[in-house]
């Protein structure tokens, strides 16, 4: 508390001025953050020294390198610092002069420009001077001609390049293009970061066959057919070779992503379904189609003897030459026909199921594309699939592993049973004592701890003696 200030000032607090002046508190100058701008010879877009300086006309003058700002306006059409619309006509070319030492200086006063210099430019000529030169030789003398080129100008044509008394009000980290670049970089980094997987309620897929809600409907539920059931989940890829009349085609099948389609193709290959069939449609620059035993494009069936559903995956697209995809007559009408792309065809995505690609024999695909075609895009010379060889079948391998696991489990059970027989052979024998419920219970064996409820025998007493000892009329109450 400060004493001696009078009755009205005898208070339990101090004022802001008392804190600053009497107690060495925080000064007014400390409360104002000084924004440090870029040096006058720096481009506000590249944040480096400029080579061909231009300025953007506006409330404040910002200098840019001509090449950098031209590309930026072409791409974005906004001011790099403020984010406001900016066009090429809003730019003004500036001419800085250098002294004998190679430093920027006023061509009239021959004073080097520093961060404390008041620098201006004449808008009509673009020449850059110190404020002292313009003030003394133009403004005070009312001589409104450029000091070097003698071009006439008006006072409103004077452009302030740097004014130490009126510093820049936006720090470079707050520039529009700097903040925008930072936000985009953070978005890219965030996209690269994989989100933590959410815990699942179940650890394995279960399929009910279509009967889950049958009890809630009066309509009888139809069981799913084999073609409608989901494919067997495997983690490996499949590999098949089609030997054609023009050479081999080695195919990689994505069984790990589209199991139903790959299982159909592999089993058709194993059953020699494609042997002797032709590629009935060939469109150079687009694709070649086959898999129809009739050779017309209207035949063919799946291994389940009916059409099966599409399997679309975001990882599998019609995005390159050699993509292997299913031909169909509409949604969920897959059979045996397939096609191989000659080029990227994005319009087929989510319309046809991609299930593999050509990984060997691209020269064979090149020969196919060069083949002469006739009416209906059919090759003049038949391109025949001589044979189809399956090098790797993940579905068969998975079935074998499952069978082996079953055999091993059965052997373990048998070994455990045999070991029990050797350690306790009597325990393995079962004896029946009667028919019906309790046939394995021995009626002559008393349970441990259970008292024998049979009457005690105190000697041989005949039935006649028993009847004489206790008359029927005897009462045992009193």
Q: Is 349 a catalytic residue?
A: no
Closest CA to 57 of 19, 21, 93: 93
Q: Is 328 a catalytic residue?
A: yes
For residue 132, give Cα distances in angstroms to 61, 138, 158.
Answer: 19, 10, 13
DSSP state of 233: P
Tokens of 394: 């993940």
Choosing from 153, 286, 309, 312, which is the catalytic residue? 286
Choosing from 289, 318, 337, 365, which is the catalytic residue? 289
Choosing from 250, 328, 349, 350, which is the catalytic residue? 328
Burial of residue 96, with CB atoms counted within 10 A of its CB: 0-12 exposed, 13-18 middle, 19 or more buried: buried
CA 53 – CA 386 distance, rounded (Å): 71
Q: Is 352 a catalytic residue?
A: yes
Q: What is the full DSSP assignment across 308-363?
A: B-----TT--S-STTEEEE--SSTT-B-S-EEEESS--GGGTTTS-EEEEEEE-HH
Give me the helices (H) in 65-175, please: 66-75, 131-134
Burial of residue 111, with CB atoms counted within 10 A of its CB: 0-12 exposed, 13-18 middle, 19 or more buried: middle
Closest CA to 326 of 311, 315, 314, 306: 311
Beta partners for residue 91, in sequence order: 56
Q: Is 63 a catalytic residue?
A: no
DSSP state of 137: I
Choosing from 86, 348, 365, 395, which is the catalytic residue? 348
Q: What is the full DSSP assignment across 66-87?
A: HHHHHHHHHHT-B-TTT--B--
- How far from the centroid of its chain's Cα atoms is residue 96's Cα? 51
Choosing from 339, 341, 355, 395, which is the catalytic residue? 339
Q: Is 289 a catalytic residue?
A: yes
Choosing from 254, 264, 352, 355, which is the catalytic residue? 352
Choosing from 265, 281, 308, 318, which is the catalytic residue? 281
Which residues are designated catalytic?
A: 281, 286, 289, 328, 339, 348, 352
């Amino acid at each position: 508390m400060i004493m001696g200030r009078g009755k009205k000032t005898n208070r339990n607090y101090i004022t802001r001025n008392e804190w600053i002046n009497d107690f060495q508190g925080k000064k007014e100058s400390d409360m104002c953050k000084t924004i440090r701008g870029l040096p006058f010879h720096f481009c506000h877009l590249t944040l480096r020294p400029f080579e061909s300086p231009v300025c953007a006309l506006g409330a404040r003058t910002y200098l840019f390198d001509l090449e950098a700002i031209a590309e930026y306006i072409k791409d974005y059409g906004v001011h790099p610092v403020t984010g406001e619309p900016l066009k090429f006509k809003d730019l003004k070319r500036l001419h800085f002069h250098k002294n004998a030492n190679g430093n920027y200086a006023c061509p009239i006063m021959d004073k080097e420009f520093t961060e404390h210099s008041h620098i201006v430019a004449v808008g009509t000529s673009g020449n850059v001077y110190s404020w002292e030169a313009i003030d003394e030789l133009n403004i005070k003398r009312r001589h409104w001609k450029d000091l070097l080129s003698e071009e006439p100008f008006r006072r409103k044509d004077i452009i302030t390049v740097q004014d130490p008394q009126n510093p820049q009000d936006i720090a470079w980290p707050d520039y529009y293009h700097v903040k925008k670049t930072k936000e985009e970089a953070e978005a890219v980094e965030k996209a690269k970061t994989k989100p933590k997987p959410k815990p699942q309620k179940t650890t394995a897929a279960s399929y009910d066959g279509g009967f889950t809600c049958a009890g809630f409907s009066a309509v009888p539920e139809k069981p799913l057919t084999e073609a409608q059931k989901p494919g067997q989940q495997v983690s490996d890829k499949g590999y098949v070779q089609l030997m054609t009349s023009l050479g081999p085609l080695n195919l990689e099948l994505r069984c790990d992503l589209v199991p139903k389609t790959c299982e159909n193709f592999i089993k058709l290959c194993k059953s020699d379904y494609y042997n002797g069939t032709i590629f009935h449609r060939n469109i150079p620059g687009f694709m070649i189609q086959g898999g129809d035993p009739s050779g017309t494009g209207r035949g063919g069936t799946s291994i389940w003897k009916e059409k099966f559903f599409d399997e679309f995956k975001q990882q599998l697209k019609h995005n390159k030459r050699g993509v292997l995809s299913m031909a169909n007559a509409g949604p969920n009408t897959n059979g045996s026909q397939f096609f191989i792309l000659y080029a990227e065809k994005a319009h087929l995505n989510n319309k046809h199921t991609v299930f593999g690609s050509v990984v060997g024999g691209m020269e064979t695909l090149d020969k196919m594309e060069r083949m002469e075609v006739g009416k209906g895009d059919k090759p003049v010379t038949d391109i025949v699939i001589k044979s189809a060889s399956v090098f790797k079948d993940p579905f068969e391998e998975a079935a074998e592993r499952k069978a082996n696991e079953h055999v091993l489990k059965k052997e373990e059970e048998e070994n455990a049973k045999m070991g029990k027989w050797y350690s306790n052979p009597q325990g393995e024998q079962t004896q029946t004592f009667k028919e019906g419920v309790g046939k394995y219970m021995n009626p002559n064996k008393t349970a441990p701890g259970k008292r024998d409820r049979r009457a005690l025998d105190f000697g041989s007493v005949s039935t006649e003696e028993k009847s004489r000892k206790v008359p029927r009329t005897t009462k045992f109450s009193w």
